[in-house]
Amino acid sequence: MDVPREKLFRCWHDPELLKQWFVPKPWTIASAEVDLRPGGRSLVVMQDPEGNQYPNEGVYLEVVPNEKIVSTDAFTAGWKPSGKAFMVAETLFEDAGNGKTRYTATARHWNAEDREAHAKMGFHEGWGMAADQLEALAKTL
Amino acid sequence: MDVPREKLFRCWHDPELLKQWFVPKPWTIASAEVDLRPGGRSLVVMQDPEGNQYPNEGVYLEVVPNEKIVSTDAFTAGWKPSGKAFMVAETLFEDAGNGKTRYTATARHWNAEDREAHAKMGFHEGWGMAADQLEALAKTL
């Protein structure tokens, strides 16, 4: 991405920024809670154009400022097992020099069935479009 | 437990001590790896009296020295989803005054089926016996 990693990290860290890029338009984020520390709560409420809301809750597992964020929906706050351990998301922000960033977002699942279900939900396209929105927003900072 | 929590915590932290109490005799611990920090690897190889070995691998999720340890088998090191997200173990060491400790070990599961399977494996008796061994060992420190 053609933007320094510190700005990308801010777009993950600040809920008001995260709301602007985290889902592909015309979906929106109705609300976001970002307690960015190991065990901290992540709650992102996605909203479709009809106004239906889809809460996504989880916790952060590892946070290295400006470098790495790992989160999962396997737990809710307090390390309570969630309804289902579906995925772990790892995002890496690597300094690529000249104010650029190598940005890598990886989703891992507990089994092949869940991975395929996630792909069928449009994971690659969705995360790709969100990443484009992220880069565009970070450039304005 | 009739022993200060610092000594109990040492028995969790030091692999050579952990090997002496972590499974009810006549089972033994063949080897133990204790990287006691969030995301750190936990590998405990249990051994039955016939010499068959049963590796238990996972990661620590949260560590507060002398107060709290949370671990899970849902991940291997590097936040890789494991073969199965079976349980989360939370151990609390609360200062009960007069050199005593309120020791609470809780296992949580992702579904009722796994919880019942764990109970049938002898969870309550096994963890209870191990806790007695822990207290006895900590008293010798």
Residue of B84, B13, B74, B82 whose CA lies nearest to A59 = B74
**What is the nearest CA distance from B101 to chain A, expressed in angstroms?**
22
Confidence of residue B136 (pLDDT cuts 50, 70, 90): very high
> Which pLDDT score, from 0 to 100, does residue A94 have?
98
Asked if B62 reaches chain A (Cβ–Cβ under 8 Å), the answer is yes
**What are the structural domains, with CATH classification, of chain B?**
5-139 (3.30.530.20)
* A138 backbone dihedrals φ, ψ, rounded to 5°: -60, -35
Q: Which residues of B touch A112 (CB under 8 A)?
A: none
The encoded tokens of residue B90 equal 């939370």
Q: Which residue has the tokens 């020295």?
A: B65
pTM: 0.93
A73-83 burial, b if ≥16 CB within 10 A, otherwise e? bbbbeebebbe
> Which pLDDT score, from 0 to 100, does residue A8 have?
98
Asked if A62 reaches chain B (Cβ–Cβ under 8 Å), the answer is yes
Does the distance separating the beta carbons of B88 and A79 come in below 8 Å? yes
> Which pLDDT score, from 0 to 100, does residue A124 have?
92
- Positions in chain A short of pLDDT 70: none
**What is the nearest CA distance from B86 to chain A, expressed in angstroms?**
10
Q: Which residues of B touch A80 (CB under 8 A)?
A: 88, 108
Encode pLDDT of B40-99 as tens digits.
999 999 999 999 999 999 999 999 999 999 999 999 999 999 999 999 999 999 999 999
> Which pLDDT score, from 0 to 100, does residue A30 have?
97
Asked if B113 reaches chain A (Cβ–Cβ under 8 Å), the answer is no
